[in-house]
Amino acid sequence: MRNKGIFIIGVMSAMALLAGCSTSGSKEDLTKYVDVKIGSGGHGHVFVGASVPFGAVQLGPTSIPQTWDWCSGYHESDSTVIGFSHTHLSGTGIGDLFDITLMPVTGEVTYARGVEADPASGLWSYADRSREVAKPGYYSVPLTRYGITAEMTSTCRVGLSRYTFPASEEAAVVIDLENGGCWDSAYNTSIEAVGDKAVQGFRFSSGWAKNQKIFFYAEFSEPFESFEVIPVKERTFAGQTNPINYGRASFKTADGDQVMVKVAISPVSVENARRNLEAELPGWDFEAVVSDAAEAWNAELSKVKIQTPDADMRTVFYTALYHTMIVPSTFCDVDSESIDYTTYSLWDTYRAEMPLMTVLHPEREADMVNTMIRICDDQGRLPVWHLMGNETDCMVGNPGIIAVADAVVKEVPGIDKDKAWEALKTTAMGDDRGQDLRKQYGYIPSDLFNQSVAYDMEYAIADGAMAAAAEFLGKTEDAAYFKERSHSYRYYMDKETLQARGRLADGSWRTPFNPYNSSHEVTDYCEGTAWQYTWLVPQDYEGLLEFYGSKEFFLERLDSLFLADSTLEGDNVSSDITGLIGQYVHGNEPSHHIIYFYTRAGKPGKAADLVRQVYDEFYQNNTEGLAGNEDAGQMSAWFVLSSLGFYEPEPASTRFWFGAPAFEKAEVKVPGGILRIEAEGLDSTNKYIREVTLNGKKLDRGYIEYSEIMAGGDLVYKMGPEPVCWY
């Protein structure tokens, strides 16, 4: 074997076959503005590696540590690599996946993850980060221990790796089926050779996803000299003991020899994985696959084109847009009857990521909502945080309701409204996760249920979305019922402290009360304090005005949130509370709508000042450029929408409220054509909207309708140096 690279004549472009992944074309190379490593430091937890938009495969390095900041397998502070896994999460606060991990090696190795203190303890190597290349659809890094350069790219369901070896009589590619990361642990594995150029098998694991099953079929560009199955341990799961295996495909290499491996995955079977490989990647033209992956990203990134002289802001924007399209990820095979998705971080993403989907990807949004409806058929309720066929029940409330209802009221094509309503109402009327207590008491008592305020207030938001969907569908009685139930948060609103606090079953307040207390997972709140949860009422702005007695006092209290001391107190303060302005927390989702209360209250100038402060402080062009976890696209989606000058703060709403456009011009591809956005006169002085026109007509309101966005046209913000209310 002496091939420096293999090129098969007549290679079929895989992109035309990527059901569930991007297929449209574009000319301008926008990937050059994406820095995939923004958010790879701090607590961003972003995926770094090769993928295509919403692909099943996220192929990239996995490191030794399994602590919180390595939830994606990668952190800029650490250069260890145990191998290159074909599935990763991005931006989550819990780690899982890291399936089908390949590691090119030379010589004898220890088949284990290893520890950094002992180089001989496992397969791992340091990566030479000074020569790392990471861009959309491609990743490359040298492994210093072995003198091997690893490159990788992907289609939707197939990862393609190319390893450049030194001269060695003992070169090999090891398939590690043991090691995942963080919560994940394999409980059954299988691997076998198919001839001398292919292997197949599966990895079943239990972690955040309690029973995840992934099947694979892999082909090598060269025949291996030998293939060895190495069992390293046994694991008992559900009363059955199974082997945990590695596989080693061995080669003899001259200096510079390249071995390529393509690995197809399937959630169903080895045979389906093989068919995925045959359909998406029949050939071996590595550069062509890299080019196709870049083109897939360009096709999606080109849905929004911005004009700005600020190079850093351009990079921040396109990186944010890129990060909104890692997940949800494809969870079906090329010949599946339906297009299904997984990795539904809905408590995070119902706020901005899913509304952004309705604008930029309505056809994909329909597939995602239909997937959620099928999940409801399977498990009896809409998903909360669904991962690889498993309900994790992570986070509070009924976020799936909000995402589905949002698509219903926007009339996203391709969704059966009757089926959607059935799933919505079935979920809303459930008795699980504290809903039985809410029905009994009208609220969730804090002495009977942990994180009661957080659960109830999120349920109230979902009820607001239910009311909106019911009203849209003409279900008058249901609309009235759910609107009334969406007011349950009012039980927690204390006229004395002016904040939301826990209430006991007998109606008394929980004491002692400290609005700065944030003892993680043991208070009445979830990843927050009373300061943030007091404002977690996007569905009932009018109710908040009523609580505070006047718009003036409402605004005074809203100001106090941003002026408060940023102190956090308590045992085990939540690490999710980051990116603070006073007690506003941009690094976590419950605060994301709050700034837009100012626009709703007739103070768009205050909204603009705070939105721009968030841009400046919490979205930066460096590895620590995110204020907190990327959260499966939500943190970036907030920026994408807000930077265009509008944001959807209300649940299941068609109104996008104005804030602070970040760019002089932008063009958004929509079904009606192009929405051309211009911030006329925008600069550091003229930073406030003083007038808005749509197709030449003045808007006498503080929002634009979804239907107006989707129709396209000309949206002009006339900017000025002083804040005014034009509506």
Q: Is the pLDDT of residue 559 over 90?
A: yes
In this structure, are residues 566 and 583 in contact, taking their beta carbons and an 8 Å threshold? yes
Helix residue ranges per DSSP H, 517-594: 530-533, 541-548, 551-563
**Using one digit for the tens of pLDDT, what is the confidence trace for 651-688?**
999 999 999 999 999 999 999 999 999 999 999 999 99
- CA–CA separation, 203 and 341 (whole Å): 20
Q: What is the mean pLDDT of residues 610-634?
A: 97
> What is the pTM assigned to this prediction?
0.96
The set of residues, in sequence order, having a beta carbon less than 8 Å from that of 499 and lying 6+ positions away, is 493, 515, 530, 531, 534
- At residue 723, the pLDDT reads 97
Location of structure tokens 């620590």: 624
Per-chain mean pLDDT for the chain: 95
Q: Is the pLDDT of residue 19 over 90?
A: no
The CATH number of 14-300 is 2.70.98.10
521 pLDDT tier (thresholds 50, 70, 90): confident
In this structure, are residues 81 and 54 in contact, taking their beta carbons and an 8 Å threshold? no
Return the domain boundaries, the chain.
Answer: 14-300, 596-727
Structure tokens belonging to residue 133: 């290349």
- CA–CA separation, 67 and 322 (whole Å): 25
- At residue 374, the pLDDT reads 98
14 pLDDT tier (thresholds 50, 70, 90): very low
Structure tokens belonging to residue 454: 């957080």
3 pLDDT tier (thresholds 50, 70, 90): very low
**Using one digit for the tens of pLDDT, what is the confidence trace for 431-445?**
999 999 999 999 999
In this structure, are residues 185 and 208 in contact, taking their beta carbons and an 8 Å threshold? no
Q: How far is CA 607 from the centre of its chain?
A: 26
- CA–CA separation, 503 and 530 (whole Å): 13
- At residue 22, the pLDDT reads 54
- At residue 461, the pLDDT reads 98
Q: Is the pLDDT of residue 334 over 60?
A: yes
**Using one digit for the tens of pLDDT, what is the confidence trace for 117-146?**
999 999 999 999 999 999 999 999 999 999
Alpha-carbon separation of residue 130 from 70, 76, 103, 144, 543 (angstroms): 20, 12, 20, 11, 55
| Percentage above 90 pLDDT, the chain | 95
Query: How is domain 596-727 classified at the CATH fold level?
Result: GH92 mannosidase fold (3.30.2080)
Check whether the bond before 104 is cis (ω within 30° of 0). Answer: no
26 pLDDT tier (thresholds 50, 70, 90): low
Q: Is the pLDDT of residue 4 over 90?
A: no
- CA–CA separation, 173 and 248 (whole Å): 6
For residues 569, 575, 581, 582, the Cα torsion angle rounded to the nearest 10 degrees is: -10
Look at residue 370 and give its three-state secondary structure.
helix
| Percentage above 70 pLDDT, the chain | 96
- CA–CA separation, 358 and 361 (whole Å): 6
Nearest to 80 by CA among 94, 90, 70, 95: 70
Look at residue 709 and give its three-state secondary structure.
helix
Alpha-carbon separation of residue 134 from 138, 235, 327, 623 (angstroms): 6, 36, 18, 13
- At residue 1, the pLDDT reads 54
**Using one digit for the tens of pLDDT, what is the confidence trace for 157-204?**
999 999 999 999 999 999 999 999 899 999 999 999 999 999 999 999
Q: What angle, rounded to 10 degrees, do the helices at 311-323 and 634-643 form?
A: 130
Structure tokens belonging to residue 247: 């596989």
In this structure, are residues 235 and 242 in contact, taking their beta carbons and an 8 Å threshold? yes
Q: Is the pLDDT of residue 473 over 90?
A: yes
- At residue 591, the pLDDT reads 98
Alpha-carbon separation of residue 654 from 343, 412, 635, 651 (angstroms): 25, 11, 21, 9
Cβ atoms within 10 A of the Cβ of 223, count? Answer: 13
In this structure, are residues 453 and 525 in contact, taking their beta carbons and an 8 Å threshold? yes
Cβ atoms within 10 A of the Cβ of 621, count? Answer: 15
Q: How far is CA 48 from the centre of its chain?
A: 13
- At residue 446, the pLDDT reads 97
Q: Is the pLDDT of residue 10 over 50?
A: no
**Using one digit for the tens of pLDDT, what is the confidence trace for 362-414?**
999 999 999 999 999 999 999 999 999 999 999 999 999 999 999 999 999 99
Q: What is the mean pLDDT of residues 518-528?
A: 92
Helix, strand, coil percent values for the chain (each to nearest 5)? 30, 25, 45
- CA–CA separation, 446 and 231 (whole Å): 50
Alpha-carbon separation of residue 24 from 56, 398, 527, 620 (angstroms): 18, 34, 40, 30
Q: How far is CA 145 from the centre of its chain?
A: 33
Nearest to 656 by CA among 704, 624, 622: 704
Residue type at position 621:
N
- At residue 519, the pLDDT reads 86
**Using one digit for the tens of pLDDT, what is the confidence trace for 69-110?**
999 999 999 999 999 999 999 999 999 999 999 999 999 999
Q: Is the pLDDT of residue 18 over 60?
A: no
